[in-house]
A and B are shown apart, each in its own frame.
Chain A
Amino acid sequence: MLKIKNLHVEADGKKIINGLNLNIVDGEIAVVMGPNGVGKSTICKTIMGDQNYKITKGSINYNGVDLLEKRTDEIALLGVFLLMQNPVSIPGVTNAEMLRVASGERGINESIFEFNKRLNEATLKLDIDKSYIHHNINEFMSGGEKKKNEMLQIEILKPGLILLDELDSGLDIDSLKILATRLYNYSKENKASILIITHHVNILEYLQPDKVYVLEDGKIQAEGDLSLAKKIEKLGFKGAFNGCE
Chain B
Amino acid sequence: MDVNKGEENKILLTDDIVYLDKFVKKSFVRVVGNCTLNAINLHNNMSLRIEIDKNSVLVLNIFDYAVLNEVTLDITLDDGASLILNDAFIADVKYGLYIDTKLYGSNASVYVNVRGINEENATSTVIMNGCVAGGIDGVTLNEYAKVINKSDNSAVLIPNLIVNTNEVEANHGVSIGSINCDELFYLMSKGISNSDASKMIENGFLLSIMDEDVKEKIKNVLVGR
Asked if residues B189 and A90 are in contact (CB atoms below 8 Å), the reply is no
Asked if residues A93 and B200 are in contact (CB atoms below 8 Å), the reply is yes
Asked if residues A101 and B183 are in contact (CB atoms below 8 Å), the reply is no
Asked if residues A98 and B207 are in contact (CB atoms below 8 Å), the reply is no
Distance of A74 Cα from B196 Cα, bound (Å): 13
Distance of A105 Cα from B196 Cα, bound (Å): 11
Interface string of B189-201 (1 = CB under 8 A from A): 1111110110011
Interface string of A76-102 (1 = CB under 8 A from B): 110001101001101111000111011
Asked if residues A72 and B200 are in contact (CB atoms below 8 Å), the reply is no
Q: Does A191 contact B (CB under 8 A)?
A: no
Asked if residues A88 and B186 are in contact (CB atoms below 8 Å), the reply is yes
Distance of A235 Cα from B36 Cα, bound (Å): 65
The interface centre, meaning the residue of B191, B192, B200, B205 with most chain A CB atoms within 10 A of its CB, is: B191
Q: Does A61 contact B (CB under 8 A)?
A: no
Interface of chain A residues 28 through 75 with chain B (CB within 8 A): 48, 50, 71-73, 75
Q: Does A120 contact B (CB under 8 A)?
A: no
Task: Pick the contact of B193: A91, A97, A105, A137 (CB < 8 A).
Answer: A105
Distance of A136 Cα from B205 Cα, bound (Å): 11
Q: Does A198 contact B (CB under 8 A)?
A: no
Residue of B with least CB distance to A74: B191
Residues of chain A contacted by B189 (CB below 8 angstroms): 48, 72-73, 75-76, 81-82, 84
Q: Does A193 contact B (CB under 8 A)?
A: no
Q: Does A167 contact B (CB under 8 A)?
A: no
Asked if residues A98 and B190 are in contact (CB atoms below 8 Å), the reply is yes
Q: Does B203 contact A (CB under 8 A)?
A: yes
Asked if residues B186 and A101 are in contact (CB atoms below 8 Å), the reply is no
| Interface residue tally for chain A (C-beta within 8 Å) | 28
Q: Does B152 contact A (CB under 8 A)?
A: no
Distance of A221 Cα from B191 Cα, bound (Å): 33
Distance of A92 Cα from B201 Cα, bound (Å): 8
Distance of A75 Cα from B193 Cα, bound (Å): 11
A73-B192, A105-B191, A157-B191 known; A91+B186 contact, CB < 8 A: no
Residues of chain A contacted by B200 (CB below 8 angstroms): 90, 93, 97-98, 101
Task: Pick the contact of B188: A72, A97, A99, A137 (CB < 8 A).
Answer: A72
Q: Does A18 contact B (CB under 8 A)?
A: no
Q: Does A106 contact B (CB under 8 A)?
A: yes
Residues of chain A contacted by B183 (CB below 8 angstroms): 88, 90
Distance of A98 Cα from B189 Cα, bound (Å): 11
Residues of chain A contacted by B182 (CB below 8 angstroms): 88
Residues of chain A contacted by B193 (CB below 8 angstroms): 73, 105
The interface centre, meaning the residue of A92, A97, A106, A137 with most chain B CB atoms within 10 A of its CB, is: A92
Would you list 17 pairs from A and B whose C-beta atoms are within 8 A, ordered by A residue?
Answer: A50-B185, A73-B194, A73-B197, A75-B189, A82-B189, A88-B180, A88-B186, A91-B204, A91-B205, A92-B206, A93-B187, A93-B200, A101-B196, A102-B192, A106-B191, A136-B204, A157-B190
**B: which residues have CB within 8 A of A?**
180, 182-183, 185-194, 196-197, 200-201, 203-208
**A: which residues have CB within 8 A of B?**
48, 50, 71-73, 75-77, 81-82, 84, 87-88, 90-93, 97-99, 101-102, 105-106, 136-137, 153, 157
For the complex with contacts A98-B200, A102-B191, A157-B191, 13 further pairs of A-B residues with Cβ separation under 8 Å are: A72-B185, A76-B190, A81-B189, A84-B189, A91-B205, A92-B207, A93-B187, A93-B200, A93-B201, A97-B200, A101-B192, A102-B190, A105-B192
